[in-house]
Amino acid sequence: MISVIGSGRVGATTAAFLMMNEVDNNIAIVDIIEGLPQGEALDLNHAAAIMGKDVKVAGSNSYEAIKGSDIVIITAGLARKPGMTREELAAKNAQIVFDVADKVKQYAPNSIVIITTNPLDVMVAVLYKRLGFPRNRVIGFSGVLDSRRMAYYASQYLNISPSAITPLVLGQHGENMYPVPELSFVYGKSLKSFLTDEQYNKVVKDTINAGADITNLRKFSSNWGPGAGLTVMAEAIKRDRKIALEASVLLDGEYGIKGYFAEVPIIIGKNGVEKIIEVDLSSEQKEKLMKSIDAIKNNLKQVPEEYIR
């Protein structure tokens, strides 16, 4: 069973994608708002009947509904509003994630947990500390979204499919992320070599600002991209696909970083994080990555100490 905690836009979209792709026959949606998860579940069950999908969706206000889940996806938390940075959400969402972690530990102690609550790299640290699960089973959703956003923007200049690009974005999921077009590739050739300097700078800027651009345009944050990315990750785990993608994971010496969650390439399969891929970086690239890590460290300072001890 796959459980989605939070039935807002991201949670509901994720549940819909999971149903449409038949990633699991049983999906549970949990939310504290009475009637909301039940209504979403009923609507999705109708959609499954129309589409001929053999999937049952259950909605509940009780965390007991996640009991025995293989995968738990946490989307609960306050959403980012126009003009608000992910970092401003830190203290408010830490309490929510802290409380949710206790419920996951109680009802789904053997699950692999993926979280998308912002600011992501901080919230996944809070989750990890409270859960006490091994690091391969606590994953921050972010990198697959940021990297594929960069592939999309670059593809518009190259007039090729985004899937032809292997993108690389490192560090923080936020305004200090580090997109790396020179270490992103199109069939072995650096993405940077296809772009003019102006295009390169625009791809980097658009990747960093993608979430804010969506929020400013429609007055609420993205849900389709996160829902799609979470589904890809869940499917990779359930079907042991062992694919390469990016996620925010706990680094234990990789890239010279220890004790912090950050976006890096990984192999994902039935055990969660099967392997962390270390990309060779130049001294200049390492410096840029460390600036991004410093931003994560500063964000952690915004979280009350009791949540990250």
Burial zone of 219 (CB within 10 Å; 0-12 exposed, 13-18 middle, 19+ buried)? exposed
- 248 within 8 A of 261, measured Cβ to Cβ: yes
Task: Give start-end residues of each CATH 3.40.50.720 domain in the chain.
Answer: 2-140
Q: Contact at 8 Å (CB) between 184 and 150?
A: yes
DSSP letter for 120, please.
H
List strand residue ranges (DSSP E) for the chain, in order.
2-5, 26-30, 56-60, 71-74, 112-115, 138-140, 165-166, 169-171, 177-179, 185-186, 189-190, 243-252, 258-269, 272-276
Distance of CA 72 to the CA centre of its chain: 13
Q: Which of 206, 230, 194 is nearest to 150 (CA)?
A: 206
Q: pLDDT tens for residues 181-207?
A: 999 999 999 999 999 999 999 999 999
Fold held by 2-140: Rossmann fold (3.40.50)
Position 227 confidence tier, pLDDT thresholds 50, 70, 90 = very high
Q: Does residue 170 sit in helix, strand or coil? A: strand
Report the phi/psi class of residue 261: left, alpha or beta, with left for phi > 0 and alpha for psi in -120 to 50.
Answer: beta
80: confidence class by pLDDT, cuts 50, 70, 90: low
pTM: 0.95
pLDDT over 70 at 160, yes or no: yes
Provide the token pair at 97. 């994630």
Confidence bin at 81 (pLDDT 50/70/90): low
Of 147, 173, 183, 276, the active-site residue reads: 173
Looking at residue 85, its pLDDT comes to 66
H/E stretch holding 204: helix 197-218
- pLDDT above 60: residue 86: no
**95-143: pLDDT as tens digits:** 999 999 999 999 999 999 999 998 999 999 999 999 999 999 999 999 9
Can you tell me the distance from the alpha carbon of 80 to that of 242, in angstroms, rounded to the nearest whole number? 32
Q: Give percent helix, percent strand, percent coil of the chain, each to the nearest 5.
A: 50, 20, 30
Taking residues 61-69, what's their average pLDDT? 97
Residue 30 sits at the vertex; the CA angle it makes with 28 and 31, to the nearest 5 degrees, is 160
* Residue 84 predicted with pLDDT over 90: no
For 143-307, the fitting CATH number among 3.30.70.270, 3.20.20.150, 3.90.110.10, 3.30.300.180 is 3.90.110.10
Does 46 qualify as catalytic in the annotation? Answer: no
What percentage of residues in the chain have a pLDDT greater than 70?
Answer: 97
Q: Which residues of the chain form CATH 3.90.110.10?
A: 143-307
Question: What's the average model confidence in pLDDT over 41-55?
Answer: 98
Picking from 271, 222, 223, 276, the residue whose alpha carbon sits closest to that of residue 246 is 276
